[in-house]
Amino acid sequence: MTTTALIVAAGSGSRMGGLVPKQFRLLSGKPVLRWAVEALSRHPAIRSTRVVVGKGQQESAAAALNGVDVGELIEGGAERADSVRAGLAAIDGDAVLVHDAARPFCPPEVVDRLIASLEFFEGAAPVLPVGDTLARIGDTLGEPVDRTGLARVQTPQAFRLDALRSAYDRWQGSSPTDETTVAGAAGLRVAAVAGDPALEKLTLPSDFERAEQWLAGRLSPRTGMGFDVHAFAGDGPIMLGGIEVQHSRGLSGHSDADVVLHAITDALLGAAGLGDIGEHFPPSDARWKGAASAIFLTHAVELLRARGAIIDHVDCTIIAEAPKVGPHRDAMRARIAEIAGLRVDQVSVKATTTEGLGFTGRREGIAAQAVASVRMSAC
């Protein structure tokens, strides 16, 4: 059975408020849409993943999914059902998992249960039992509602592709909230499989707070270390900590030779197990000749955040006899924080000398060492 995941991300997120639709808002540094897509695209039973976006959202979606293979983005319609229809028309295969982008976390076990059910049913949906007391409300709390046999229906929902297309062709009602409504009206047999609390939908600002807390509980602390050194050569000024510092001599390097940003970049890459700065920006590559080291740090930060990592703190010690770092420390911290998307209090810059010993003591160059504290999941 060839299965396609169809992520519906065409909503405006009006209940969330703000100018950015919720599917493009950041959750622990990564767009909600990307969380949802990656959760399904990594499953071995899913052959391909496609995304339906609203009119005018292509640029935002492309940025959110940079580097993720989802094929050509599909333009949806005014209602959710219109978007699903557009998606169904654009895909092929035997089965489809229709999923809401506003549900960013999908455990692989749920996908296993859904796909297994398609051997015996035309469709399947994850459900959770209703644990709370239900009651009708008006101005006051009214009579309770019997919750026996009731369940909360989640997505993704799995269907045999031809069966779901046919069900939508026959649908005559108003805009359905999900595919089980359409399938049931067409007489399809839809299995109920065990859902998961991780599949809760993000609708209100408080839902984002809950999701951030849930993610934080699944992250483990990591520490990365970085070191860099550049020799003095030519005339100053020099780049140090992302700012220009006046000095009688310059620094030799293929890029702008900013030892502070280089050390911090290596510390971040090391924390995530992503190699070192030379692997990502080889000195042999002419593109990086004279390049601003802010590019390197930005790249490292983006790599970590694409993996859901949270950067807690970076600390850098500059080792040099000159120039004096004290007068520039606050400006360096502010610039590093700006590049890395951190608060200034998450950045530390210190300086020391080697008491006249070694190459820095002989004023032959500048060294820097950095430590980065991050939190990220194992997957």
Instruction: Sketch out the chain's domains with CATH numbers.
Output: 3-218 (3.90.550.10), 220-376 (3.30.1330.50)
Angle at 224 between CA 108 and CA 218, to 5 degrees: 30
Examine the pLDDT at 324 and tell me if it is beyond 60: yes
Two tokens, residue 367: 């060294």
φ/ψ of 219, rounded to 5, equals -100, 145
Report the pLDDT averaged over residues 342-359: 95
| Structure confidence at residue 16 (pLDDT) | 58
Report the pLDDT averaged over residues 25-48: 92
Two tokens, residue 130: 């209703």
Q: What is the percentage of the chain residues whose pLDDT exceeds 90?
A: 79
Give the integer Cα–Cα distance in Å for 102 and 83: 15
Q: State the pTM of this model.
A: 0.70
Q: Residue 317: which pLDDT band, with cuts at 50, 70 and 90?
A: very high
Examine the pLDDT at 2 and tell me if it is beyond 60: yes
Residue with tokens 């749920």: 110
CA distances from 310 to 36, 186, 227, 339 (A): 18, 46, 22, 15
Q: Residue 27: which pLDDT band, with cuts at 50, 70 and 90?
A: confident
Return mean pLDDT, the chain.
93
Residue with tokens 């999914």: 65
| Structure confidence at residue 283 (pLDDT) | 87
* Cβ atoms within 10 Å of 49's Cβ, excluding its own: 25
For 238-270, the pLDDT digits (tens) are 999 999 999 999 999 989 999 999 999 999 999
Side-chain half-sphere of 284: how many Cα atoms within 13 Å? 1
For 63-112, the pLDDT digits (tens) are 999 889 999 999 999 999 999 999 999 999 999 999 999 999 999 999 99
Give the integer Cα–Cα distance in Å for 364 and 355: 14
Residues 6 or more apart whose Cβ sits within 8 Å of residue 187: none
